[in-house]
Amino acid sequence: MSDVVLSIRGLSVEIPTRSGIVKPVDGVSYDIRAGEILGVVGESGAGKSMAGNAVIGLLNPPAHISAGEIWLNGSRIDALKGEAMRQLRGKHIGMVFQDPLTSLNPLLSIGDQLTETMLTHLPINKVEARQRAIMALEEVGIPGAAERIDSYPHEFSGGMRQRVVIALALGAEPSLIIADEPTTALDVSVQAQIIALLKRLCRDRGTAVMLITHDMGVIAEAADRVAVMYAGRLAELGAVRDVLTQPQHPYTQGLMASTPLANPASCTTTFASLSQKLAVASKLAEPILVTKPSTDTILACT
């Protein structure tokens, strides 16, 4: 299919250990199309992050790709090394991890980090980069972006930092975003806002998203299709509504049965209640600055 952004074919990852070879990812295949959000779900240790890290070339040795192919926009990328992989990560693949502080440099202002990314990957000058950085911050819901742009990461609340990380991940206009548990460390009300933001921005831009999560609620709310992983393998792949209402694989059935959202009969209600939760959460205020609450706290929501 021509609009396929990411194609993973028979991907396996191996880790040699003293007690033998561990295979955290075992023959996984899926595609993600432009503007599509693929949710990757499964219990802890299922291999979700390993598969994501394999795509961005961030497997920690001795973990390595032992079989399969990874294609991005029609080019094979699984054998890329060093500088070529770094270039690809910066320009074509954006990343959002659980803890925003792992993606942000505490010593650089938000503006410097955003403009540096843009200047490296886009054909623009410093003045244009600063303008675009302010626009990017406005777009992710940072009020007073023009004043806030010179703030440092520690001056923002957790939810606001994750908004900045999303702006940073989208800064170079990548075709793929890999978001690994992007809301797990955040307050419940903020979680829904961040998921809604990620969904809206990626839809608008036609960015493909691999959304890794253990949260079926996040999948139901945000994803178009879902890949269920179990013990390194792909247990099930399908449209979210189909997988939620009629899980085919015994593991998915078990996963659904152990999830409060799992009752297939109430799935329509589930979707409705999630939307309500999102609507309520989006009306809740989230403090932007944690350092000077009396004068500088600005309330924001998407």
Ligand X SMILES: Nc1ncnc2c1ncn2[C@@H]1O[C@H](COP(=O)(O)OP(=O)(O)OP(=O)(O)O)[C@@H](O)[C@H]1O
Interacting residue ranges for ligand X, rule: CB under 6 A? 15, 17, 22, 24, 42, 44-50, 214
Query: Which amino acid would we find at residue 105?
Result: N
* CA-based max dimension of the chain: 59
CA distance 85 to 225: 27
Query: Of the candidates 5, 24, 31, 49, which one interacts with Mg ion according to CB under 5 A?
Result: 49
Task: Please name the helix (run of DSSP H) or strand (run of DSSP E) that holds residue 107, with its range, or none.
Answer: none
Task: Please name the helix (run of DSSP H) or strand (run of DSSP E) that holds residue 177, with its range, or none.
Answer: strand 176-180
Which residue's Cβ lies closest to Mg ion? 49
Closer residue to ligand X in complex, CB, 47/141: 47
Closest contact distance (angstroms) between CB of 144 and ligand X is 35
CA distance 153 to 106: 6
Closer residue to ligand X in complex, CB, 97/156: 97
- Token pair, residue 87, equals 């270039």
1: buried, middle or exposed (CB in 10 Å: 19+, 13-18, 0-12)? exposed
Please choose which of Mg ion, ligand X, none residue 141 contacts, taking the beta carbon within 5 to 8 angstroms, the exact cut-off set by kind: none
Closer residue to ligand X in complex, CB, 40/134: 40
Please choose which of ligand X, Mg ion, none residue 8 contacts, taking the beta carbon within 5 to 8 angstroms, the exact cut-off set by kind: none
Query: Which amino acid would we find at residue 1?
Result: M
Closer residue to Mg ion in complex, CB, 47/158: 47
Q: Packing angle between helix 126-139 and helix 110-121, nearest 10 degrees?
A: 120
User: Candidates 44-52, 100-108, 228-236, 250-258 — which segment interacts with Mg ion by CB under 5 A?
Assistant: 44-52
In DSSP terms, 176 is beta-bridged to: 93, 208
Closest contact distance (angstroms) between CB of 229 and ligand X is 7
Q: With b meaning 16 or more CB within 10 Å and e meaning fewer, what string describes 78-108?
A: bebeeeebeebbbbbbbbbbbbbeebbeeee
Closest contact distance (angstroms) between CB of 145 and Mg ion is 32
Closest contact distance (angstroms) between CB of 97 and ligand X is 11
Q: Is the N-terminal amide bond of 62 cis, ω within 30° of 0?
A: yes
Closest contact distance (angstroms) between CB of 180 and Mg ion is 6
Please choose which of Mg ion, ligand X, none residue 214 contacts, taking the beta carbon within 5 to 8 angstroms, the exact cut-off set by kind: ligand X
Please choose which of ligand X, Mg ion, none residue 46 contacts, taking the beta carbon within 5 to 8 angstroms, the exact cut-off set by kind: ligand X
Closer residue to ligand X in complex, CB, 46/197: 46
Closer residue to ligand X in complex, CB, 15/37: 15
* Interaction site with Mg ion (CB under 5 A): 49
